[in-house]
Structure 1
Amino acid sequence: MKHSLLLYAFLVAAALALPACVGSPGPVGNAAVPEPARAVALTPYLGRWYEQARYEAPFQEGCEAVTADYSLRDDGKIRVVNTCREGSVDGKLRQSTGKAKIVEGSDGAKLKVSFFGPFYGDYWVLDRGEAEADGLYPWSIVGEPSGRYLWILTREAQPAPALQSALEARVRELGYDWSLVRRTRHE
Structure 2
Amino acid sequence: MRYAFLLLLIFLPGCTGIPDGVEAVDGFNVSRYLGKWYEIARLDHPFERNLTAVTAEYSLRQDGGITVVNSGYDPVKQKRVSVEGKAYLIETPEQGRLKVSFFGPFYASYNIIALDKQDYRYAMVTGPNLDYLWILSRTPQLDEAVLAGLKTQARQLGFAVDELIYVSHTP
TM-score normalised per structure 2: 0.83
Q: CA deviation at 1:167?
A: 2.4
Does the 8 Å contact 2:30/2:93 carry over to 1? no
Shifted more, 36-45 versus 76-85: the winner is 36-45
Map of 1:130 onto structure 2: 117
Map of 2:28 onto structure 1: 40
Does the 8 Å contact 1:44/1:131 carry over to 2? no
Does the 8 Å contact 1:65/1:84 carry over to 2? yes
For structure 1, the 5+ residue unaligned runs are: 16-30
Q: CA deviation at 1:130?
A: 2.1
Q: Superposition pairs for residues 111-126 of structure 1, below 5 Å? A: 111-126=98-113
Map of 1:155 onto structure 2: 138
- 1:78 counterpart (66, 69, 72): 66
Aligned identity (percent) is: 36
Map of 1:110 onto structure 2: 97
Q: Compute the RMSD of aligned alpha carbons.
A: 2.4
- Hey, what's the Cα distance between the residues in 1 that align with 2:25 and 2:67? 24
- Hey, what's the Cα distance between the residues in 2 that align with 1:148 and 1:67? 20
- Hey, what's the Cα distance between the residues in 2 that align with 1:54 and 1:144? 12
Shifted more, 100-109 versus 77-86: the winner is 100-109
TM-score normalised per structure 1: 0.76
2:57 matches 1:69? yes
Against the structure 1 CA distance between its residues 147 and 76, is the aligned structure 2 distance closer, same or farther, given a 3 Å change threshold?
A: same
Query: What is the number of residues matched between the two proteins?
Result: 159
Q: CA deviation at 1:106?
A: 6.5
For structure 2, the 5+ residue unaligned runs are: 9-18
Q: SS at the partner of 2:155?
A: helix
